[in-house]
Amino acid sequence: MPALSRFPRSGPCALAAVLSLSALVAGCGGPSDGAPAVTAATSTEVTVPVSAVTTTVLDPGAEPRSVVRLVPEAGVQQGVVLTTRSEVFQRVGDDPQQDFSTPELTLPLSATVERAVSDEDPSTVVDITVGSATSPDETLGSALSDAEGSGAGLTIGPTGAISALRLEPTPDAANIARSAIEQAFYQAVYRTVSFPEEAVGVGAVWEIHQQVMSAGITLDQVGTATLVEREDDRITVDVKVEQTPRESTWVLPNGQGRLDIEQYTMAGEGSMTIDASLPLPVGGELTVRGDQTYVEPDGGTRLSQSQVDRVGWNTPDR
């Protein structure tokens, strides 16, 4: 995927960097059933499958309870701002620490529900246009002007689970801007809240299970959501997220060998506010952080990394 373009180096000095979430989900392709990573829809548009989500209710919460369904009507429009940032610092052996961070990116988004849930179709299809994006990073900021008007899209089930992400950058968008926008959407997609099929009330707690897959490493991501407040269509949920590797070995991309996973922590928390009549979150922020250490099987080179990923949503004042 183009989102990996910010990691041009090969060999150990860049390997840890590809494990930042934004790059990780760019490289994940799709679910573990072998679905293709990218499906071309036009000369510039690609569709990326998103791995399946399951939920388990731990506490149904207080009465009254009801089933939460996110089913905005066709034609509904929404303006929202997505902000992302990834701080990634990694060290190989005794070498100096390197910074592979992604600068903060602010994306004004205009979303339109193109297709609503119906008896014939179980999904909502949302078209998104990127407005005038900004970044405090001078190089990225200057490149973003040609990316204005880039398109994206989501296929969303009634529970809020996203099954596909579409990306269509503008033809003139520079690689650095295209990559940053793609990675922002990847982060957002894998940090959304899905609701259970069962009826829930205030205080309800449920787990959200999803596999996040990279080249050679599979992570089990578990989000624990708590329904804090519900007023008509507006719902506020607190969420905690934790990732754990399914294997003890990381198979490196491009046949570069294996590394043993000596340590892996990645966890965080935040809050999300959702309006069931709108396609995108209306507010909230989630921060996930952790440290990872990898070592060659013969006990040689040690690769360590620390990272912090932040995703935020807000609705601008009209």
| DSSP per-residue string spanning 171-191 | TT--HHHHHHHHHHHHHHHTT
Residue whose structure tokens are 């952790």: 290
What band does 33 get if pLDDT is binned at 50, 70 and 90? very low
Number of other CB atoms surrounding residue 229 within 10 Å: 11
Residues 128-166 as b/e (b if ≥16 CB within 10 A, e otherwise) read bbbeebbbebeebbebbebbbebebbbbbbbbbbbbbbb
21 neighbors 86 (Cβ within 8 angstroms): yes
Residue 40: its pLDDT value, please?
A: 38
- By DSSP bridging, strand 283-295 and strand 258-264 are antiparallel
CA distance 256 to 13: 12
CA distance 63 to 205: 14
Residue 177: its pLDDT value, please?
A: 95
Res. 21: pLDDT tops 80: no
Return the higher-pLDDT residue of 249 and 44.
Answer: 249
Q: For residue 201, what are the β-bridge partners?
A: none
Find the helix or strand (DSSP H, E) in which 23 lies. Answer: helix 21-28
| DSSP one-letter code for 200 | B
Res. 27: pLDDT tops 50: no
Q: For residue 77, what are the β-bridge partners?
A: 112
CA distance 315 to 215: 35
- Which tokens in the block code for residue 272? 């999300």
Res. 132: pLDDT tops 50: yes
Res. 22: pLDDT tops 60: no
Return the higher-pLDDT residue of 248 and 216.
Answer: 248
Residue 304: its pLDDT value, please?
A: 94
**Rounded mean pLDDT, 278-301:** 93
What band does 318 get if pLDDT is binned at 50, 70 and 90? low
Largest CA distance in the chain: 60
CA distance 50 to 284: 22
CA distance 238 to 226: 5
Angle between helices 21-28 and 175-189 (to 10 degrees): 90
Residue 261: its pLDDT value, please?
A: 94
Per cent of the chain over pLDDT 70 is 85
What band does 253 get if pLDDT is binned at 50, 70 and 90? confident
Res. 35: pLDDT tops 60: no
Number of other CB atoms surrounding residue 66 within 10 Å: 10
Q: What is the pLDDT of residues 51-75, one digit of tens each?
A: 999 999 999 999 999 999 999 999 9
Q: Which amino acid is at 2?
A: P
Of 155, 282, 158, nearest to 231 by C-alpha is 282
CA distance 182 to 54: 25
